Every structure is written in structure tokens, then in C-alpha cells.
Amino acid sequence: MVQTCRITLKAALLGLGSLVFALLGSAIVHAADTKDVKGKEPPTAGTTASRFKGKAIELKLKDGKVSYAGELSADDANFQNHHFKVFTVQLEKGKTYGFDHRNAGDDPKFDPLLFLEDAAGNQLEMNDDGNPPNLDSRIVYKATKSGTYRLVATTLIPQQTSKFTLEIGAATVAEAKNAELKYRINNYADGTPAERKDVAQTLIKQFEGNSDKLTFADFQLALQLAFLTEDDGIDQARATYSSLIKAFAGAENKQVAVQAPKFLENELKKIEKHLGKMMPISGKTVDGKDFDLKNLKGKVVLVDFWATWCGPCIQELPNIQQAYKKYHGKGFDVIGVSLDRSDDAITKFVEDRKLPWTSINIEDSKKLAAQYGVNSIPFPVLVDRSGRVVSLRARGPQLDRLLERLMAEKK
């Protein structure tokens, strides 16, 4: 039984799980038995501002390269017992870069961990061990826009200190090809429906053409693509999931061939069950009033499964608040379904944060979580004006994109 909300980057040692957690940024929960936990593991930066606060060291590229030699020490900024340094660098749109965080000290157990963020602190990439069993970290990234990017050099293991180097340079041909895949997927949502369909078909063919050589890193990209196609409707999503299941089943890596299709099949079952379907939500609110989602027909509603003890949920709140402020007057509302232990915990949190939307009480929230098979949070379900589910992943920039589209549609 899973009882905590922690996402640990130590899961990076476990193959598939780490890739999924890094992508989903979700807290694992057991709806009937949750408890407050203050984790000590390094965080995954979420869709809002970075947790890594500190004065940044500016790096300046010369001919696309730069090298920094320094030391992580007990005097550096600290987050949850992990020392870190923050760097900024100017990158050029369309160019591919390699970022290396390497141990330069005497301790062979020093385990570098590297994050790449945009200027606002939103995570773009992370890496623990770039070339196992070597513990050094390497990120390869094709810049989606020109401007300032943030690098966070830290460690996987708490309280580690050591001399280290941070280098930015070129990527190999193979790395650049993989970065191009990521680039196309990262820009998928900005295309027209026809362009998105073409990108999806092109990328699926690439996965199918390299079926025997597919890795867990390929699966991370494929899963991201599959999630994105859900916003194009159940037919496009079903076709994408089905093609990817077949492609990964042919992988020579037996772990990939078994685990990747199984995960994709489970996600496909989830969207088949919910996407495009009506979503009955009813119960008592924390202040004892009756609530029924049917009464909000004509509005676009975010049904947010969350908890006050869930780090990724709290990270997402500013984004939801911003969306509420921007679209509430146009017919957008939010209903909170919390997996906390008491109504008092929700009430106090909502009052302290001045959250303007309604929350279902604990007893009915747990029933709803069980009814919809919610085993990780945040689980943000977006319902259109007709009451049908249009997204099971309406968070971060995706929430704003979906709301902009839905608000433009005729009532």
C-alpha cells in the first residue's frame, strides 16, 4: 500500500518508473489511507516557478561552448538537504546543446544531478546518470526559443559536497536526432490540427521504423506524444496509443518490450473510459452544501483531484488561480476533490490561500477518487460546457491552451 505523496528522483535508478514520474510530476496516493509526509528527496521542478532559489551565475557562450569549474559546498543554497548552484545562459532557438554536470572531486560516490529550466523556472529537462554506471549527468536539448535558460547543478544524494564542472557544448549526431524528436513533440501543441496530425504520424513512423532498438528514453518521448494527442480527441489518441503499443512490443530490450506496452495499455484504458464521456460528480462540500456537476452545465469546469500534502498539487495551484482569474468571468469554474485526512485541513488551507472555488468534503472525495480510479495526484480533469471530459491532464501551460480553445467555441 502506498501511503506517501513523495516523488523521489532516486526512482531514476528504477528505469521505467523514473521516466514516468519525471514526465507526469504526480504524487502516488492511496485514497483511503493518506498521511502528511515531509520528504527529503530532491524535488522534480514542476510547471510553476522553480524551487531552487538562489543567486544565479551567468555563463557566456563562446562559439557555442563554455566551461565552469566550481564546488558544491555547505555554504551553497540548500533545498531539502541538497546543496545547489544556479546558472543562467543565453541559448538560440533551433540550436542543440549538450550540458554536462561532472564530478571533479575525490569522492567517487558524488552523484551529480542536473536540471534545465526556462527563465521562469519551469523544468524542461533533468538527468541523473547520463551514461551509467558513470554518475555524471548529461542533458541534450534543442532550444524551442531564444533567450535565458536556467541550469541547476545539485546532487541526487543529500548533503553531498565536491568540486565539479559544468560544461555546455555540442551534441553528437545521435543525440541531436533524439533532441529533434523532443523538439517536435515540445512544439506539438502550437500547430494546427492538420499539422499536429502530420507530426504525430511522422513520429509514430520513426518509432515503428526503429522498433527493435527502442529504449526507455524513447518511451518517455512516445508517452509525451500520446498524452498530447489526447487533446485532439479519442480517435486520434486511440490510434496513437495503439501504434505505440505495437512498436514498443517489438523492442529487443525485454524490459522495454514488456513494461512500455503495459503502461500504454493502462493509459489507453483510462482515456477510453473517460475521454469524451460524461463525468458525474456530486456530494457534500466542506461547508455542508449539496454539489452536483450537472448544475454547472454550460460552464467549462476543472475537476481537480488534489491534497494539501501533495507537493506537485501545491506547485500547480498558482497556475489554476491564474486560469481562474483569466477565464472565470467567461464561464470557467473549478471544483476541488481533496484526498486530505480532514475537512478542517482543507478549510484552513483554502482560507489561508484564499482559493475562491468549492471543495468536496473528505468522505465524498474519497468515494469519487475510488470511483474514477485515481491513484496519483494531481489528477486534473477538464470538462467542457456539455459536461463531457476533454482532458485528463489539464495542468501547466496545457490548461491555458485548452481553456483558450474551449472559450472560443460557441455555447
| Per-residue confidence (pLDDT) for residue 308, from 0 to 100 | 92
Q: Which of 274, 290, 313 is the last residue of a domain?
A: 274
Do 60 and 125 reside in the same domain of the chain?
A: yes
Q: Is residue 400 part of a domain?
A: yes
| Per-residue confidence (pLDDT) for residue 327, from 0 to 100 | 96
Closest Cα to residue 278, out of 260, 293, 298? 293
Q: Is 334 left (phi over 0), alpha (psi -120 to 50) or beta?
A: beta
Which amino acid type is present at position 251?
A
| Per-residue confidence (pLDDT) for residue 49, from 0 to 100 | 66
Show the domain range for 126.
Answer: 56-172
Q: Is residue 268 part of a domain?
A: yes
| Per-residue confidence (pLDDT) for residue 220, from 0 to 100 | 86
CATH at 160: 2.60.120.380
Q: Is residue 132 part of a domain?
A: yes
Q: Is 378 left (phi over 0), alpha (psi -120 to 50) or beta?
A: beta
Do 290 and 401 reside in the same domain of the chain?
A: yes
Q: Is residue 211 part of a domain?
A: yes
How far is Cα 116 from Cα 118, in angstroms, rounded to an integer?
A: 7
Q: Which of 215, 245, 274 is the last residue of a domain?
A: 274
Identify the DSSP state of 407: H
| Per-residue confidence (pLDDT) for residue 186, from 0 to 100 | 81
| Per-residue confidence (pLDDT) for residue 122, from 0 to 100 | 83
Residues of the chain with pLDDT under 50: 1-24, 28-48
Do 195 and 304 reside in the same domain of the chain?
A: no
| Per-residue confidence (pLDDT) for residue 19, from 0 to 100 | 37
Q: Which of 250, 274, 298 is the last residue of a domain?
A: 274
CATH at 340: 3.40.30.10
Do 165 and 66 reside in the same domain of the chain?
A: yes
Task: Give the count of domains, the chain.
Answer: 3
Closest Cα to residue 99, out of 59, 139, 128, 134? 139
pLDDT (tens digit per residue) in 342-351: 999 999 999 9
Q: Is residue 369 part of a domain?
A: yes
Partnered with residue 69 across adjacent β-strands are 165
Do 296 and 399 reside in the same domain of the chain?
A: yes
0.85 cut: is pTM over it?
no
| Per-residue confidence (pLDDT) for residue 411, from 0 to 100 | 61
- Name the strand (E) or helix (H) holding 299: none
| Per-residue confidence (pLDDT) for residue 182, from 0 to 100 | 84
